[in-house]
Amino acid sequence: MIKASDFGPDFLWGVAGAAAQVEGAALEYGKGPSIWDTFSAKNGKIKKGNKLAIACDFYHKYVEDIALVKFLGFKVFRFSIAWARILPFGNGGINQEGIRFYHNVIDECLSNGISPYVTLYHWDLPQALENEGGWTSFTINEAFNHFVRICAKEYGDKVKNWIVLNEPFGYTSLGYMLGVHAPGKTGLSNFFPAILHTALAQADGGKILRSEISNANIGTTYSCSEIIPNTQSDNDLLAAKRIDCLMNRLFVEPAQGLGFPTGDWDVLEKFQIEYGTWRLKERMKFDFDFIGLQNYFPLTIKYNAFIPVIQAWEVKAKTRKKPHTAMGWEVNADSFFNIIKQFAAYPNIKNIMITENGAAYHDKLVNDSIVDVERIEYFKLYLAALLRAKHEGINITGYMAWTLMDNFEWAEGFNARFGLVHTDFKTLKRTIKYSGYWWQEFLDN
Mark the binding-site residues, compressed into ranges: 21, 122, 166, 296, 402, 409-410
Tell me the three-class secondary structure of 319-333, residue by residue: CCCCCECCCCCECCH
**CA nearest to 134, candidates 87, 83, 190, 208:** 190
Give the Cβ contact number of residue 14 at 10 Å. 23
CB 416: neighbour CB atoms within 10 A?
20
121 lines the binding site for ligand BGC (CB under 6 A): no
Candidate segments 103-111, 164-172, 277-285, 336-344, binder of ligand BGC by CB under 6 A: 164-172
Nearest CA to 382 out of 343, 439, 444 is that of 439
* Counts of helices then strands in the chain (DSSP H, E): 15, 13
Residue 402 binds to ligand BGC (criterion: CB under 6 A): yes
**Residues 195-224: x where in contact with ligand BGC by CB under 6 A, - otherwise, as a string:** ----------------------------x-
Residue 291 near residue 222 (C-beta atoms within 8 A) = yes
Q: Is 356 in the site for ligand BGC (CB under 6 A)?
A: yes
Spell out, one character per residue from 292 to 321, where the chain touches ligand BGC: x when CB under 6 A holds, - when not. Answer: --x---------------------------
Q: Which is nearer to ligand BGC, 18 or 86 (CB)?
A: 18
Contact between 442 and 4 (Cβ < 8 Å): yes
**Catalytic annotation present for 167:** yes
Return d(Cα 35, Cα 42) in angstroms, integer: 11
Q: Do 156 and 213 meet the contact criterion of CB atoms below 8 Å apart?
A: yes
Using the rule CB under 6 A, give the single segment among 95-103, 166-174, 191-199, 379-387 that binds ligand BGC. 166-174
Among 124, 167, 204, 372, which residue interacts with ligand BGC (rule: CB under 6 A)? 167
As measured in angstroms, the least distance from the Cβ of 355 to ligand BGC is 9
Cα distance between residue 408 and residue 47, in whole Å:
11
Q: Is 142 a catalytic residue?
A: no
Contact 57, 24 (CB under 8 A): yes
Residue in 50, 166, 173, 198 binding ligand BGC, rule: CB under 6 A: 166
- Judged by beta carbon, residue 123 or residue 303, the one nearer ligand BGC is 123
Which residues are known to be catalytic?
167, 356
Where along the sequence are the contacts to ligand BGC (CB under 6 A)? 18, 21, 166-167, 170, 223, 294, 356, 402, 409, 418
